[in-house]
């Protein structure tokens, strides 16, 4: 099945099974804003727990905060967002659709990358085990030609971004004959800059309202609390401050479901270090973070690093972790070495000293910062993309059947255990409730009695519940149930007393943390 079709199905699945809904759907929706349903919120909470604990619990020198969304407007002046948090936009005159010029060019580059991937896939099939990918990349003329195209494009693109040269960005779009995906034409406007921050007013207008912004990143809430945390927590450098919270960006292009939203959530950690040691810490965090992703078991080949073409004004190193979504490799997380830019700016704009006295060096300095920044929603989409499976299975009557299953990592699944009475009588529902009442403080359980057992299994597969137990008449006699495993569909008879440890042993964050 084409990847685009899989993606469409995934989006429909998210809605059908209570994971993600379009915001304000009864009013025909609000662009690039989404709500999480009863299963979505559980998965999201589990993702956040995985991140939070891996940062704050596992690192004794990382602590968390929860800062307000509204902040003093000067913060955004100091951080550079008022003047420079822009995206280059371009309109197609025919379709009247608006695009990010840089994204159009990145999509063009992805086309060359796709061609290379296709060649490699073909060759892998042809040569089997003896295939040497590195050698093939170096010697195959078609791969080489596309690689050259990527390099030439990259060079122009990087220069245009670094020089802030909007005319050149447009010229690249013209030269590469990039067409509007809607109208198919190349009739473009000039490229313009567009600030992504949402503004609102605070206070009553008669008193003279103050223009405030909805934060476009959570990081600044950490920077302006650096001294508070360092002093009250008696933190010694190197140390980190982590935060999970909402961020808002007036994105020009609202595409790809929850990949690019106008209201989204970030999990950010700012790590404060001695000047000069930042690049070592940058390397360390880059490795720590890729391990965190890979520990979920979605396949190491599905991740890659992408070094930035253009470094943000505050950074001296930056890399993205990209995941292979159904629509291609895209950024999930950024790791940035932000130098002392933010703290120095806040020091200057606030007039307050924001420094660290280093007892070992016996001097004060503005710490350098390495940031890890990941979107909860993009992570959610990564998990769902990896988990969504359509499988051919054998039905009870021996015929071929299809099942849709969410192979979510068991620790992240919204419901761990579904308990099902075989029939709605003879004391079986009561026995099922008894099991749930005994286990509900250990993990999330769901009672399910409607429809045939087969249908109930399919329903639980589709929401990603890793374990189902069926209570039958024998259960009343010998206190045993049938447990059925989502991924293998294997069933076995176990004692009810075993359930806590059987399920509990497979849903523990501990095992995941052990891989980090």
What residue ranges bind ligand ATP (CB under 6 A)? 249, 251, 260-261, 264, 266, 331-334, 373-375, 377-378
Residue 377 or 448: which CB sits closer to ligand ATP?
377
> What phi, psi does 392 have (nearest 5°)?
-90, 130
Distance of closest approach, residue 214 Cβ to ligand ATP, in angstroms: 13
Residue 226 or 329: which CB sits closer to ligand ATP?
329
Residue 6 or 311: which CB sits closer to ligand ATP?
311
Residue 79 or 460: which CB sits closer to ligand ATP?
79
Residue 266 or 410: which CB sits closer to ligand ATP?
266
Distance of closest approach, residue 166 Cβ to ligand ATP, in angstroms: 18
d(CA 188, CA 6): 31
Residue 154 or 185: which CB sits closer to ligand ATP?
154
Handedness of CA 332, 335, 340, 341 (dihedral sign): negative
Distance of closest approach, residue 102 Cβ to ligand ATP, in angstroms: 8
Residue pair 376/48 in contact (Cβ under 8 Å)? The answer is yes
Instruction: Give the DSSP letter of residue 57.
Output: I
d(CA 89, CA 64): 36
Residue 124 or 304: which CB sits closer to ligand ATP?
304
Distance of closest approach, residue 313 Cβ to ligand ATP, in angstroms: 13
Distance of closest approach, residue 235 Cβ to ligand ATP, in angstroms: 24
Distance of closest approach, residue 133 Cβ to ligand ATP, in angstroms: 28
Residue 173 or 445: which CB sits closer to ligand ATP?
173
Element (H, E) at 453: helix 453-463
The candidate with the shortest Cα–Cα distance to 341, out of 319, 364, 367, 361, is: 367
Residue nearest to ligand ATP (CB): 375
Got the DSSP string for 454-510? HHHHHHHHHHT-SEEEEE-HHHHHHSEEEEEETTT--EEEEEGGGHHHHHHTTS-HH
Distance of closest approach, residue 262 Cβ to ligand ATP, in angstroms: 7
Residue 324 or 378: which CB sits closer to ligand ATP?
378
Q: Which two tokens stand for residue 398?
A: 């021996």
The candidate with the shortest Cα–Cα distance to 367, out of 217, 222, 232, is: 222
Distance of closest approach, residue 361 Cβ to ligand ATP, in angstroms: 32
Distance of closest approach, residue 330 Cβ to ligand ATP, in angstroms: 7
Between β-strands 368-375 and 263-273, what pairing exists: parallel, antiparallel or unpaired?
A: antiparallel
Distance of closest approach, residue 43 Cβ to ligand ATP, in angstroms: 16
- For 454-484, b/e burial (b = at least 16 CB within 10 A) is eebbbbbbbbbbbbbbbbbeebeeeebbbbb
Rg (CA), the chain: 26
d(CA 269, CA 276): 19
Specify the 3-state DSSP secondary structure of 304.
strand
Instruction: Give the DSSP letter of residue 293.
Output: H
d(CA 425, CA 411): 33
Sequence-distant (≥ 6) Cβ neighbours of residue 17 within 8 angstroms: 39, 406, 462, 463
| CA 24 vs CA 19, 20, 65, 199: distances in Å | 15, 12, 31, 21
Residue 309 or 434: which CB sits closer to ligand ATP?
309
């Amino acid at each position: 099945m084409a990847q685009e079709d899989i993606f469409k199905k995934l989006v429909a699945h998210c809605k059908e099974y209570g994971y993600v809904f379009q915001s304000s759907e009864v009013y025909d929706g609000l662009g690039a804003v989404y709500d999480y349903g009863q299963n979505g919120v559980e998965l999201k909470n589990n993702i956040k727990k995985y991140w939070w604990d891996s940062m704050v619990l596992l690192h004794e020198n990382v602590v968390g905060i929860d800062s307000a969304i509204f902040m003093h407007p000067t913060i955004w002046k100091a951080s550079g967002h008022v003047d420079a948090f822009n995206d280059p936009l371009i309109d197609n005159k025919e379709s009247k659709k608006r695009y990010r010029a840089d994204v159009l060019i990145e999509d063009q580059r992805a086309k060359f990358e796709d061609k290379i991937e296709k060649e490699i896939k073909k060759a892998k099939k042809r040569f089997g085990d003896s295939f040497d990918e590195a050698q093939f990349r170096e010697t195959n003329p078609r791969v080489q030609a596309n690689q050259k195209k990527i390099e030439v494009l990259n060079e122009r693109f990087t220069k245009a971004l670094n020089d802030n040269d909007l005319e050149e960005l447009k010229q690249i779009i013209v030269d590469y004959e990039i067409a509007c995906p809607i109208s198919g034409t190349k009739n473009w406007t000039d490229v313009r800059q567009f600030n992504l921050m949402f503004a609102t007013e605070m206070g009553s207008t008669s008193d003279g309202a103050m223009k405030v912004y909805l934060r476009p990143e959570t990081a600044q809430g950490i920077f302006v609390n650096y001294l508070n945390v360092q002093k009250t927590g008696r933190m010694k450098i190197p140390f980190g401050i982590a935060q999970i919270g909402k961020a808002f960006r007036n994105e020009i292009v609202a595409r790809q479901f929850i990949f690019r939203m106008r209201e989204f959530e970030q999990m950010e950690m700012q790590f404060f270090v001695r000047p000069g040691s930042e690049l070592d810490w940058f390397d360390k965090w880059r490795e720590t973070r890729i391990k965190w992703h890979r520990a979920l078991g979605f396949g190491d080949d599905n991740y890659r690093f992408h070094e930035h073409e253009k470094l943000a004004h505050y950074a001296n190193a930056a890399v993205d972790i990209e995941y292979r979504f159904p629509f291609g490799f895209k950024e999930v997380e950024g790791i940035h070495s932000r130098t002392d830019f933010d703290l120095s700016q806040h020091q200057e704009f606030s007039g307050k000293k924001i420094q660290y006295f280093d007892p070992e060096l016996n001097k004060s300095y503005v710490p350098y910062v390495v940031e890890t920044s990941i979107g909860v929603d993009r992570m959610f989409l990564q998990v769902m993309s990896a988990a969504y499976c359509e499988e051919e299975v054998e039905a009870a009557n021996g015929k071929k059947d299809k099942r849709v299953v969410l192979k979510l990592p068991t620790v992240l699944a919204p419901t761990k255990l579904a308990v099902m009475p075989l029939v709605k009588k003879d004391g079986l529902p009561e026995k099922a409730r008894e099991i749930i009442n005994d286990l509900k403080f250990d993990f999330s359980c769901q009672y399910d009695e409607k429809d045939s057992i087969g249908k109930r299994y399919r329903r639980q597969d589709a929401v990603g519940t890793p374990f189902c137990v069926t209570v039958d008449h024998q259960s009343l006699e010998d206190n045993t149930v049938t447990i059925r495993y989502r991924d293998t569909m294997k069933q076995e008879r176990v004692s009810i007393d075993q359930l806590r440890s059987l399920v509990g042993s497979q849903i523990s964050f501990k095992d995941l943390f052990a891989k980090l």
